């Protein structure tokens, strides 16, 4: 397919692309869904407390053990691997638990979802209520330019952002500025686009609680005359970020923008049980986006129901990373480049967008 020059697009959701997406019928549009019988969907959507309670106990129990080992290692070189392991176990499940509990699907009991959501939000330095609304928009308008506030990087990619995110040095400071803004009762302009006014007071209250916790950590460091307290709370959000970004870039990068079919803009990746525990099965990302009411523990079963209608899942994290990095490198010179996987013979055709207004400037490569 021939490629045409694409003008650099404005990815902010307060810019002209927002209006353009609405005019093209891409905002709050109807998305493609794989055909699954209602009876089977009801089974898959069923909520349970057991798996999430088990996984939460394992997570916090492991954090305590690793935290104790890291404490013992402080002052020696063993502290480097010990705190790296602690940080990865702090931030990676922090991210996935934030995500699943934000959807309210991890636990059957609503308050359990809310408690873990609030804790995990702080652990990954995301304002709980603003991110709930941001993520709702991400699901409404997944990778629709000008509408989705959770696009990691634009096309052509900004490598600096991706590299800084290894230690959460791009998103972290942005979030800290937001905490400060919210603490003083203000919102960013883009947040006003997706957070209703009725939620603003809650945003400000949560930010003030976060600030108090951060001040307590600072006070503990001053009292102890050491950064050790912050190595357990706050700093792990940064130094433990490598797996969060590694998982995160496999979700959508290198795939289509501005389509209404998650099979085209989202990637499912097979992972081993350890990674799936850390990620809470979000490697089944096409499945999650298409049917977000299915809890994490049922996603492997949902994948089996859907796979005849989907492109093949990427066979492992490294295969997915290779695909993403190759695509990003190509997009650096050809921003219109995207990866498109062929569908099996049993699948229904891709839905590329609103039929009469398809974007013909895309260059895809069938892999």
Contact residues toward other proteins (CB under 8 A) are: 28, 41-42, 45, 47, 103-105, 110, 129, 132-133, 136, 139-140, 196, 198-199, 291-293
Token representation of residue 256: 């289509």
CB of 33 to other proteins, least distance (A): 8
Cβ(235)–Cβ(336) under 8 Å?
Answer: no
Output 149 or 335, the one with its CB closest to other proteins.
149
CB of 259 to other proteins, least distance (A): 17
CB of 130 to other proteins, least distance (A): 11
The rounded distance, in Å, linking the Cα atoms of 316 and 283 is: 10
The rounded distance, in Å, linking the Cα atoms of 54 and 48 is: 11
CB of 163 to other proteins, least distance (A): 32
Output 7 or 42, the one with its CB closest to other proteins.
42
Cβ(288)–Cβ(282) under 8 Å?
Answer: yes
CB of 148 to other proteins, least distance (A): 14
Output 101 or 264, the one with its CB closest to other proteins.
101
The rounded distance, in Å, linking the Cα atoms of 320 and 92 is: 18
Cβ(114)–Cβ(309) under 8 Å?
Answer: no
CB of 10 to other proteins, least distance (A): 24
Give the phi and the psi of residue 125 in degrees, each rounded to 5. 55, 50
Indicate the Cα dihedral angle 136, 138, 144, 148, nearest 10°: 90
The rounded distance, in Å, linking the Cα atoms of 295 and 47 is: 7
Output 128 or 231, the one with its CB closest to other proteins.
128
Output 232 or 291, the one with its CB closest to other proteins.
291
Output 9 or 139, the one with its CB closest to other proteins.
139
Q: 136 exposed, middle or buried (CB, 10 Å; 0-12, 13-18, 19+)?
A: middle
């Amino acid at each position: 397919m021939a490629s045409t020059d694409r003008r650099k697009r404005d990815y902010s959701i307060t810019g002209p692309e927002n209006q353009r997406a609405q005019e093209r019928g891409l905002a709050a549009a109807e998305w493609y869904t794989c055909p699954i019988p209602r009876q089977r969907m009801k089974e898959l959507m069923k909520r349970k407390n057991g798996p999430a309670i088990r996984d939460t106990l394992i997570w916090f129990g492991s954090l305590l053990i690793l935290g104790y080992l890291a404490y013992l290692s402080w002052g020696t070189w063993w502290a480097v691997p010990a705190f790296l392991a602690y940080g990865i176990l702090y931030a990676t499940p922090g991210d996935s638990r934030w995500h699943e509990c934000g959807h309210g699907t991890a636990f059957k009991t609503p308050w359990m979802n809310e408690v873990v959501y609030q804790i995990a939000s702080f652990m990954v330095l995301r304002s709980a209520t603003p991110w709930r609304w941001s993520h709702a928009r991400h699901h409404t308008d997944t990778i629709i330019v000008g509408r989705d506030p959770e696009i990691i990087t634009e096309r052509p990619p900004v490598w600096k952002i991706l590299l800084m995110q290894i230690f959460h040095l791009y998103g972290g400071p942005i979030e800290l500025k937001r905490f400060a803004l919210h603490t003083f009762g203000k919102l960013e302009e883009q947040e006003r686009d997706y957070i209703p006014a009725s939620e603003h007071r809650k945003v400000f209250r949560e930010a003030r609680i976060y600030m108090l916790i951060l001040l307590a950590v600072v006070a503990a460091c001053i009292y102890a005359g050491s950064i050790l307290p912050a190595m357990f709370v706050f700093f792990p959000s940064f130094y433990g970020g490598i797996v969060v970004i590694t998982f995160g870039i496999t979700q959508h990068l290198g795939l289509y923008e501005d389509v209404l079919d998650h099979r085209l803009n989202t990637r499912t990746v097979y992972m081993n049980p350890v990674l799936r525990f850390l990620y809470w099965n979000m490697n089944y990302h096409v499945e999650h986006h298409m049917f977000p009411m299915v809890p994490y523990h049922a996603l492997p079963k949902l994948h089996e129901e859907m796979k005849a209608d989907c492109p093949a899942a990427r066979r492992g994290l490294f295969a997915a990373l290779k695909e993403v990095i190759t695509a990003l490198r190509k997009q650096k010179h050809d921003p219109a480049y995207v990866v498109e996987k062929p569908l099996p013979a049993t699948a229904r055709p891709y839905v590329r967008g609103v039929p009469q207004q398809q974007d013909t400037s895309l260059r895809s490569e069938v892999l």
